[in-house]
Chains A and B, each alone.
Chain A
Amino acid sequence: MSFFGLGRAVTVDLTHAAGEAQRVASVKSDRGNLETLPVFTDKETIAGHVHLSPAPGKQIDHLGVKIEVLGQTELYFDRGDAHDFVSLVRELVNPGEFNGPLSVPFEFKNVALPHESYRGINVRVRYVLRVTVSRGYGGTVVSDFPFLTRLVDEPPSINTGIKMEVGIEDCLHIEFEYAKAKYSLKDVVVGKIFFLLVRIKIKHMELEIRRRESAGGGTNTYNESETIAKYEVMDGAPVRGESVPVRLFLAPYDLTPTYKNVANRFSVKYYLNLVLVDEEDRRYFKQQEITVFRETL
């Protein structure tokens, strides 16, 4: 951040207390490239040092240095409406001045991080550690250090399979079953598709994972669906009585857990969509919601 072409008066850096041992994860940044960010989970202590280094030979006067933990939901269509659901502040340095590098420890104990970081189509949840060096005359320096929050879900106590018979009368009857309705992120979808009646010429069948993001509320609701994965599970036309196995590894896909309701602002749901494509490229599909949860960080 540079103001008035003067360059940065103070360079702010931040190191975490755990150092090398700090959990990290790679995510796509705004610009589309991968960045590696530290990962925290609920009730963790976020601690470390803030390193302030003034431009060489400059003395810095300031009105205080503070660090904040911010958790925000942002709706893209409504940029201004960032909603902070976490906001903790620590004063690091009292107003004064310094003229050499300065390292200040900080610590937030047992921070409540209620939501996971998320980057969706219309909405995102982001967390930052924001260091503010307050100065007069617009010389305030604000540095954001984003981090990720990941929450481990309780493994579901009940996880029955999905079994369903669907069809178009006198045309196509299938029965499909997935072993589970709830999957961890590294899970495998195992299932089977039974063809009870096939009167259409099926070309192939694929299993899609669809993510449905619903943001906003009331009249201002924005729903977006995107297909995360397309996985061909059958080639050619089956005949009646045939059964086709399904085994889909979730690991390679960029999934998040299911978010039922994040701060009353949005929800993210996942669906398994079974699509049959016939020779005229007509698509027959049935989608089925699944719950995705995080088993480990």
Chain B
Amino acid sequence: QDKWLADAQNLVKQYAFYMKRALDDNNLREALKQGSLMLGELRTTALSPQKYYELYMQVWSELHHLESFFADPARHGRTNLELYELVQHAGNILPRLYLLVTVGSVYVKSGEGAAKDVLKDLVEMAKGVQHPIHGLFLRAYLGQASKTLLPDAGSPFEGEGGDTRDAVDFVLQNFTEMNKLWVRMQHGGPARDVDRREKERRELRDLVGKNLHVLSSLEGLDLSLYRDVVLPRVLEQVVQCKDDIAQPYLMDAVTQVFPDDFHLKTLETLLGAVPKLKPSVRAGDVLASLMDRLTQAAIDAPELADAFADADALLKFRECVAAVVEAQPQLEARERLLMHASLMSFAVAAHKDRLELVDGILASCASALGAPLPPASPRDGAAGEAGTSASSEPPPPAMIVADPKAVKQLVALLTVPLETYDTDDVLRLSSYPRCMSLLQPADARDMAVAVVKSVLKGSTAVGDPRRVETLFKFVASLMRDAGEEDEEDFEEAQLLMARLVHRLRSDDTTTQLAILTTAKAQFATGGAKRLRHAAPPLAFEALRLGRAVVAETALDESSSTKTHESELLKQVLQFLYQLVSNLEQATCHDLALRLCLESARLADSAGAEHAAGDLLERAMTSYEEEIVDSKKQRTALSLIVGSLRTCENFSEETRVELADRAVGYAARLLKKTDRVAALAACAHLHWRKSPAKTSGEDDEGGVGGSGDAAGVSACLQKALKIVNASLQASATTGAGAGEATGLLVSVLNSYLWFFENGCEGAPASAVAELLERADAELSQLGSQGACPPDVRAHYDATVRHIRHQRGRGGVVGARFRDLPEA
């Protein structure tokens, strides 16, 4: 190749030299002869397009000399017409036509020849060159030479030389012929060279595309000319050439080269050509590129929106996409998605306010990929699986999108609405989940996570049960086990889902309840491991709702609403109850227990004693039966006790019963420390600080209270008994003295609290005795140097407190003064 090129270039140089010498002598005949010889080198068939191009460029620059010679009649003494004929005497067609074009351009430029006639003649004669590469370059030369000679509007060649119509005809014809030659390069030659040929063709495509560019830059090209002449003929050529490379390239070129408003006004025609492209051509890319172009236009110039609407662009696009899908059953999923993604961008850019259009696109996208219809009809019910029903024709299997590129497309497609619309609107896109069902489980999950995130990010809450249901359809993939899933991802997703619960909120209590019920039902479908995550937020929302209802009840006077509200509350409690059951089934006993207690408090605050009692009882049962770990027991118990204590509306009987049970649990705890602490806490169950009447009095602190002093005393005694036992034990074993003393100090504190609050269950004598014992133990430990510092500190603080209280006035001060000074 290189050698051939070098040889040819040398020859060209040589002939060019002789030619120029002849030109210097004004010897026309000799110049033409040498020029022909030089041009004859372009007849080679040995060179690749790349090399041929180099040679062509060399010849091209030499032709300039000839052209300027032709342009000067004084030098050759012929008229242009004579020259025009003279060069046609050349025996070989390729040199002849190059010369003819060269003379032709001079002929037109001189004003002697009418542009349209000369150009028409040239473009017609060029048909004689059927060799693809020769022809392409010859016509490229023609295109180049004629560019400034077109009888375009406003050009000096307009008028006698024709009008824009002639210019268009000329360029179109040249374009058509070039395209044919270009396409023909593909054929012939051994099959193994196909790749190389395609590469070569791509290198040459701009030669063809240049014509379109020339067309678009014609001043006189107006819409009607474009619509009636240019576009139909270009498209005809595109469709007819049936070429894999030419079709997308030219469609793309048309899209890029001509102005947007032309496209808008001729959309139908343009789109009409798309389904007619070869099946192997990626019609999707073509369409997508067009849509993207218009999308950009819509974004850049929002005022175009009306124009888009007038043109009904979106509808046309959709029809076209549908037609392509229809026409090409083998179309890849990626293509289908690409088209719809573009469609989506376009819809959003041009018709942001029309949600139904977006939904429609999703629907058609889903259909295009054969996504099963939502289970409206039971037969199609099996989501994501090919219909197996023997009756009627089975629907084509859905294309599950697995190709990473396609996945990206689909995700992009689905993301667009998320980014554009707020949650509420997105949830109105009923076909959204159908599209999502096309994804593989893992991808679907990612997508669902994105949906959830967007909902979380959004400003508006979802406040309609039906919408909630839809939302769950959107994120259905997170509610199902399908395929492999990373544990961590799962957790993360479920946490997001849990957060989502908080976004489901309505100001109307009834609605809110419905929402929660719906949500719970949805979560329940996801099985225990999902419910575990979802239950707390659900519960909290329910509790919040319950409290809101209670607050409303308190405000409301009318009895009718009151009954309604108490009904509502009942339902809330029921809901909570169910939630507890669910949790228990899910073996999340800790959670269930807590929820139970919270619910009990709610019930109590609403004055629903029975419910509260039931709930507490249930909690306790659950404690008994399910909580086995000692640490958990401790925590659970303290929760139970705490809850119980805050409940204010129990009858005395119930209270005692429950308190006793709690005490019973406390006594059965495994560790001494736990037992002591639990018992001390239980003591509080029997004692209730009298509610502070005014803030002033509250300052005094622990003035008094009421309750069952005996109960308090019993609990404290029990605690003290344990302490005693452990002290004795440590005395015999010599170990654990520090711990035992610590217990002693904490029991002392419990006593002190009740004492301070004036409970008879903790008389001054008992406190004084304890103080003494503690002091003794501590000093003994101190002498052994084994006194744990925290115990010591605790004790010291206690003593300080007593001293402080003693210094105060009032009831409390008086009480403290009964104590011996430490």
Q: Mark A226-253, 1 if CB is under 8 A from B, else 0.
A: 0001111111111100111111010110
Q: Residue of B at shortest CB range from A233?
A: B128
- Which of B93, B132, B180, B184 is in CB contact (< 8 Å) with A233? B93
Q: Residue of A at shortest CB range from B126?
A: A245
Q: Which of B43, B94, B130 has the most CB of A within 10 A?
A: B130
A246 to B134, CA, bound (A): 18
The reply to whether A201 and B188 contact each other, CB–CB distance below 8 Å, is yes
Asked whether A236 and B130 contact (CB < 8 A) given A201-B188, A245-B124, A249-B85, the answer is yes
The reply to whether A234 and B128 contact each other, CB–CB distance below 8 Å, is yes
Asked whether A249 and B89 contact (CB < 8 A) given A235-B130, A242-B127, A244-B127, the answer is yes
**Which 5 A-B pairs have CB atoms at the shortest separation, nearest pair first?**
A236-B131, A236-B130, A232-B93, A238-B130, A252-B89
Q: Which of A201, A236, A244 has the most CB of B within 10 A?
A: A236
A239 to B185, CA, bound (A): 11
The reply to whether B124 and A232 contact each other, CB–CB distance below 8 Å, is no
Q: Mark B69-111, 1 if CB is under 8 A from A, else 0.
A: 0000000000000000100110111101000000000000000
The reply to whether A234 and B130 contact each other, CB–CB distance below 8 Å, is yes
- Which of B91, B92, B125, B130 is in CB contact (< 8 Å) with A247? B125
Residue positions of A touching B, CB distance < 8 A: 201, 204, 229-239, 242-247, 249, 251-252
- Which of B85, B91, B132, B180 is in CB contact (< 8 Å) with A232? B91
The reply to whether A245 and B89 contact each other, CB–CB distance below 8 Å, is no
Q: Residue of A at shortest CB range from B184?
A: A239
Q: Residue of A at shortest CB range from B93?
A: A232
Q: From residue A180, how far is it (CB to closest CB) to chain B in Å?
A: 18
11 further A-B pairs in the complex, CB-CB below 8 A; given A204-B93, A235-B94 = A230-B91, A232-B93, A232-B96, A235-B43, A235-B134, A236-B131, A236-B135, A242-B127, A242-B130, A245-B125, A249-B88
- Which of B91, B93, B188 is in CB contact (< 8 Å) with A234? B93
Q: From residue A284, how far is it (CB to closest CB) to chain B in Å?
A: 16
Q: Mark B557-578, 1 if CB is under 8 A from A, else 0.
A: 0000000000000000000000
Q: Residue of B at shortest CB range from A232?
A: B93
Asked whether A237 and B89 contact (CB < 8 A) given A201-B188, A245-B124, A247-B125, the answer is no
Q: Residue of A at shortest CB range from B89?
A: A252
Measured between beta carbons, the chain A residues less than 8 angstroms from B131 are 235-237
The reply to whether A236 and B188 contact each other, CB–CB distance below 8 Å, is no
The reply to whether B91 and A236 contact each other, CB–CB distance below 8 Å, is no
Q: From residue A276, how far is it (CB to closest CB) to chain B in Å?
A: 11
Asked whether A244 and B128 contact (CB < 8 A) given A233-B93, A236-B135, the answer is yes
The reply to whether B128 and A235 contact each other, CB–CB distance below 8 Å, is yes
16 contacts between A and B (CB under 8 A): A204-B93, A232-B96, A233-B128, A234-B129, A234-B130, A235-B131, A235-B135, A236-B132, A236-B135, A238-B130, A239-B184, A244-B128, A245-B127, A245-B128, A246-B128, A252-B89
Measured between beta carbons, the chain B residues less than 8 angstroms from A229 are 91
Q: Which of A246, A247, A251 has the most CB of B within 10 A?
A: A247
Q: Mark B485-515, 1 if CB is under 8 A from A, else 0.
A: 0000000000000000000000000000000
The reply to whether A231 and B184 contact each other, CB–CB distance below 8 Å, is no
- Which of A201, A204, A237, A243 is in CB contact (< 8 Å) with B127? A243
A239 to B127, CA, bound (A): 12
Measured between beta carbons, the chain B residues less than 8 angstroms from A234 are 93, 128-130
Measured between beta carbons, the chain B residues less than 8 angstroms from A233 are 93, 128
Measured between beta carbons, the chain A residues less than 8 angstroms from B43 are 235
A247 to B92, CA, bound (A): 12
Measured between beta carbons, the chain A residues less than 8 angstroms from B89 are 249, 251-252
Measured between beta carbons, the chain A residues less than 8 angstroms from B92 are 232, 235
Q: Residue of B at shortest CB range from A252?
A: B89
Q: Mark B110-136, 1 if CB is under 8 A from A, else 0.
A: 000000000000001101111110110
A295 to B89, CA, bound (A): 21
Measured between beta carbons, the chain B residues less than 8 angstroms from A237 are 130-131, 188
Q: From residue B39, how far is it (CB to closest CB) to chain A in Å?
A: 12
A231 to B96, CA, bound (A): 10
Q: From residue B384, how far is it (CB to closest CB) to chain A in Å?
A: 49
Measured between beta carbons, the chain B residues less than 8 angstroms from A247 are 88, 125
Measured between beta carbons, the chain B residues less than 8 angstroms from A238 are 130
B residues 134-191 near A (Cβ < 8 Å) are: 134-135, 180, 184, 188
Measured between beta carbons, the chain B residues less than 8 angstroms from A236 are 129-132, 134-135
Measured between beta carbons, the chain B residues less than 8 angstroms from A246 are 128
Measured between beta carbons, the chain A residues less than 8 angstroms from B129 are 234-236
A273 to B718, CA, bound (A): 132
A54 to B702, CA, bound (A): 174
Q: From residue B467, how far is it (CB to closest CB) to chain A in Å?
A: 62
A145 to B128, CA, bound (A): 48
Q: From residue B181, how far is it (CB to closest CB) to chain A in Å?
A: 9
A69 to B130, CA, bound (A): 55
A247 to B132, CA, bound (A): 21
Measured between beta carbons, the chain B residues less than 8 angstroms from A231 are 91
A225 to B94, CA, bound (A): 28
Q: From residue B28, how far is it (CB to closest CB) to chain A in Å?
A: 14
A234 to B92, CA, bound (A): 9
A233 to B91, CA, bound (A): 8
Q: From residue A156, how far is it (CB to closest CB) to chain B in Å?
A: 23
A231 to B92, CA, bound (A): 6
Q: From residue A121, how far is it (CB to closest CB) to chain B in Å?
A: 22
A249 to B88, CA, bound (A): 7
A201 to B131, CA, bound (A): 11
A201 to B85, CA, bound (A): 31
A55 to B321, CA, bound (A): 105
Q: Residue of B at shortest CB range from A230?
A: B91
A246 to B125, CA, bound (A): 8
Measured between beta carbons, the chain A residues less than 8 angstroms from B128 are 233-235, 244-246
A239 to B241, CA, bound (A): 12
A247 to B100, CA, bound (A): 12
B residues 314-364 near A (Cβ < 8 Å) are: none
Measured between beta carbons, the chain B residues less than 8 angstroms from A251 are 89
A246 to B188, CA, bound (A): 26
A239 to B188, CA, bound (A): 11
Q: From residue B45, how far is it (CB to closest CB) to chain A in Å?
A: 9
Asked whether A235 and B88 contact (CB < 8 A) given A243-B127, A245-B125, A245-B127, the answer is no
A239 to B182, CA, bound (A): 13
Measured between beta carbons, the chain A residues less than 8 angstroms from B132 are 236
Measured between beta carbons, the chain A residues less than 8 angstroms from B91 are 229-232
Q: From residue A243, how far is it (CB to closest CB) to chain B in Å?
A: 7
A204 to B184, CA, bound (A): 16
Q: From residue B37, how far is it (CB to closest CB) to chain A in Å?
A: 14
B residues 174-224 near A (Cβ < 8 Å) are: 180, 184, 188
Q: From residue A245, how far is it (CB to closest CB) to chain B in Å?
A: 6
The reply to whether B125 and A235 contact each other, CB–CB distance below 8 Å, is no
Q: From residue B496, how far is it (CB to closest CB) to chain A in Å?
A: 62
Measured between beta carbons, the chain B residues less than 8 angstroms from A239 are 130, 180, 184
A237 to B181, CA, bound (A): 10
Q: From residue B64, how far is it (CB to closest CB) to chain A in Å?
A: 24
Measured between beta carbons, the chain A residues less than 8 angstroms from B88 are 247, 249
A243 to B173, CA, bound (A): 14
Q: From residue B257, how far is it (CB to closest CB) to chain A in Å?
A: 27
Measured between beta carbons, the chain A residues less than 8 angstroms from B85 are 249
Q: From residue B201, how far is it (CB to closest CB) to chain A in Å?
A: 16
Q: Residue of A at shortest CB range from B96?
A: A232
Measured between beta carbons, the chain B residues less than 8 angstroms from A243 are 127
The reply to whether B93 and A235 contact each other, CB–CB distance below 8 Å, is yes
Q: From residue A186, how far is it (CB to closest CB) to chain B in Å?
A: 10
